[in-house]
Structure 1
Amino acid sequence: MKKYFFLFILPLCWLAACDPKEDREDMPRPAYTSKDLQYSITQQAGYDNRVMLENKTPGVIPYWDYIVGVSNRQKDTIVLPFAGDFFIKFYAYTKGGPVVDSTKITVTNNDPNYFHNPAWNFLTDGVAGRTWVWAADVPTGFCFGNGSGAATTPEWWQVPASQLGDAVADEMHFDLDGAYNYTITHNGVTTKGLFSLDTTAMSLKITGADIPKGNGVTYNIVKLNDNELTIVQQGDGWRDLWLFKRKGYNY
C-alpha cells in the first residue's frame, strides 16, 4: 500500500516544485509605485517605428503592452507599423502584485519596410484610404456569382449589378490610418471593422463586419491593382466571386 502511495505523491511534489506561483512567492515584496519603476523606451533615430524596450527595475517580472503586441522580456526590440501617438504600458509584477506605468511615444510615418508590398497600397492607398464599389460596368456584365475552381469571372451563376438589390450601392473602405481599418456602408449605415491582409497567400480576413453579400470567411484575392479588386471564396472545384472597382473608376 505504501508503494502505491509514494508513486502517487511524488508526481504531485514535482508539479508543485514547477508551479510558477512558488516562483512568485520567492520574489521580494517591494513597496513599488509607478514612480519607482525604472525602464527605458527608446526609438531608433531615423526609423522611429523601431522601439527598444528595457526593464531596469530589479526584482520584478516585466510585461510590456505596446498596442499591437505584448512582451515579457527584460529587453526587447519591437516595430510599430503605424504612424501616430501611442502609449506603451510597462507592468512590473512583484509578490505584492502588478505596478503599471506608461510612456507616450510618437511614430512619424507608417513603416515603409512593413508595408513594402504593393498590395497594401493598391488595397488601401495607405493612410488616405481607398473606397471600393461593385464593378457594375465590368465588360463581362456580371460582378457577382460563382464558377469553376480557377474562374476569374462568374461562369455558372451570374449576377449583374441590376440584380444586386439594395446592395448595389454598398461601399467598402480600407485604410491604414493608425490601424487596419475597414468600413462597409449599406443603406446609409456604416459598420466599422478591421482587416488583415496576407500578402504572401493573398488572403483577406475581415472582423467585425464583412464584404457586400459576403459569407463571413477568409477570402482569397485573385486580382488587385489600382482600379480592380476581385475576391473569391475558394471551394473544391468551385469558387464564389465578387468583382469590385475603385470608386470613381469607369471601364
Structure 2
Amino acid sequence: MKINKFKNISLLLGLLVLLFSACESIVDEKELENSTNIDGVELVVTQNSNGGNLLVLEMATPGVTGYWDYNLGIALTNKVEIIYPIPGTSTFTFTGTLGAEFFEKSIDVTIDVLDTPLDQDWYDLVSENTAAGKTWVFDGVGGDGGLWWFMSDPSNKPWSVWWNAGGECCPPSDVAGKMHFDLDGAANYTYYSSADGAGQKGSFVLDVTNQTLQVNDQIILGGVDGGGNGSGLFQIVELTEDKMVLYVPNAAWATGWTYVYVPAE
C-alpha cells in the first residue's frame, strides 16, 4: 500500500508539472523596428491656388501613422483638408511613429490670399477685414439691471441666472475694458483692462465645429474677478455680427458663468 501511495504521488506531481508547462505563455520577443527615419517622412501641402488658403495637409510615407497639428486644431489622420484663415507663413506639424520611436516634423506654408471663404463665425468674431480685426466690450454697465456678466447654472444652462452680478451690484473691475481679435499674421488676442489701458497680447483658437473659444496667455474680459475657470476655454452660446455670448459651466465658485459682449462703437 505504501508503494502504491508513493507511485500515486509521483504521478500526480508529474501531471502537475506537465500542466504548468503547457500553460506557460509563448512570448514573442521580436523587437519593434523603424520603417524609415525622420528624413524619410514626406510631408506635402497642396493649395487650391498659388498662395490660396484651402489646404490639403498630407503625410505621404507608407507605414507611418500619426496626426496633424494645424494650429487651430488637431486632425487625427495622415491627410486632412482645411480652410486656413490666417495670411502669411504658418507652420504645420505632424506627430507620429516610425515604428519603434515617435517623432515630430513640420512644414511651412505661405498664404497670400483668402480666396476660399471662411466660416461665418470667423467674420463675426474678427470682421470681414480679418487683419484689422474687431473689438468687443460688455453689453452693459454696472447696476443697469441687464444680463451681461452673471452667475449661471453649471449644468449647461447659460441663461439660467443664479446671481446677476454685473447688472445688479458687483460688476467686474474691468467692466470698462475691451478685447480685440484679429488675424494679422496669427490669431491675435489683445486684452485691455480699461478703455485707455495698455493692451496685453495673447492668442486665441476658434473651434467652429465644437463651438468653443480658447483664449491663451491672457484672461478674457470679465475673467479677472473669478468668473472664469483658469483654462481660458469658453463655450460659444451665440456668435453673430452684433453679439457674442460665452459660457463656462465650471467657474471659480463651482457654478456656471455667462458673458455677453457687443462690438465696440
Range into which the TM-score falls when normalised by the shorter chain:
0.5 to 0.7
Query: What displacement does 1:121 show?
Result: 1.2
Amino acid at match of 1:181: N
Amino acid at match of 1:44: N
The residue aligned with 2:181 is 174
Matches within 5 A, 1:91-240: 104-110=108-114, 112-113=116-117, 115-116=118-119, 118-125=120-127, 126-136=130-140, 140-141=145-146, 143-146=148-151, 149=157, 151=159, 156-160=163-167, 163-164=170-171, 166-186=173-193, 188=198, 190-198=200-208, 202-211=211-220, 212-213=222-223, 214-216=227-229, 218-234=233-249, 239-240=256-257
Partners in 1 of 2:212 and 2:43 — Cα distance?
Answer: 39
In structure 1, which of residues 78, 83, 87 is the aligned counterpart of residue 87 of structure 2?
Answer: 83
Q: Counterpart of 2:113 in 1: which secondary structure?
A: coil
Contact residue 61 and residue 72 of structure 1 kept, 8 A? no
Change (3 A) 1:209 1:80: same
Partners in 1 of 2:211 and 2:92 — Cα distance?
Answer: 31
Query: What displacement does 1:110 show?
Result: 4.1
Specify the structure having the higher radius of gyration (Cα).
2
Deviation per residue, 1:60-110 (Å, 9 max, x gap): 85878675457885xx45436132223567899989x99998764322234
Partners in 2 of 1:241 and 1:72 — Cα distance?
Answer: 35
Change (3 A) 1:164 1:44: same
Contact residue 151 and residue 239 of structure 1 kept, 8 A? no
Amino acid at match of 1:119: D
The two structures have a TM-score, normalised by structure 1, of 0.62
Query: What displacement does 1:131 show?
Result: 1.4
Deviation per residue, 1:160-210 (Å, 9 max, x gap): 4984353123322222344443332336461514233345x5443334333
The residue aligned with 2:56 is 51
Partners in 1 of 2:244 and 2:158 — Cα distance?
Answer: 16
Contact residue 134 and residue 143 of structure 1 kept, 8 A? yes
Query: What displacement does 1:123 show?
Result: 1.5
Structure 2 unaligned blocks of 5 or more: 1-16
Change (3 A) 1:155 1:101: closer
Aligned-pair Cα RMSD in Å: 4.6
The two structures have a TM-score, normalised by structure 2, of 0.59
Contact residue 64 and residue 88 of structure 1 kept, 8 A? no
- How many percent of aligned residue pairs carry the same amino acid? 16
Contact residue 141 and residue 171 of structure 2 kept, 8 A? no
Change (3 A) 1:92 1:168: closer
Contact residue 53 and residue 114 of structure 2 kept, 8 A? no
Partners in 2 of 1:244 and 1:133 — Cα distance?
Answer: 5
Contact residue 142 and residue 161 of structure 1 kept, 8 A? no
- Of residues 86-95 and 175-184 in structure 1, the stretch that sits farther from structure 2 once superposed is 86-95
Contact residue 203 and residue 221 of structure 1 kept, 8 A? yes
Instruction: Could you list the structure 1 runs, at least 4 aligned residues long, displaced by more than 6 angstroms after superposition.
Output: 36-39, 62-66, 89-95, 97-102
Contact residue 162 and residue 168 of structure 1 kept, 8 A? no
Give the aligned length.
226
Change (3 A) 1:233 1:5: same
Partners in 1 of 2:92 and 2:145 — Cα distance?
Answer: 51
Change (3 A) 1:165 1:202: closer
Q: Counterpart of 1:159 in 2: which secondary structure?
A: helix
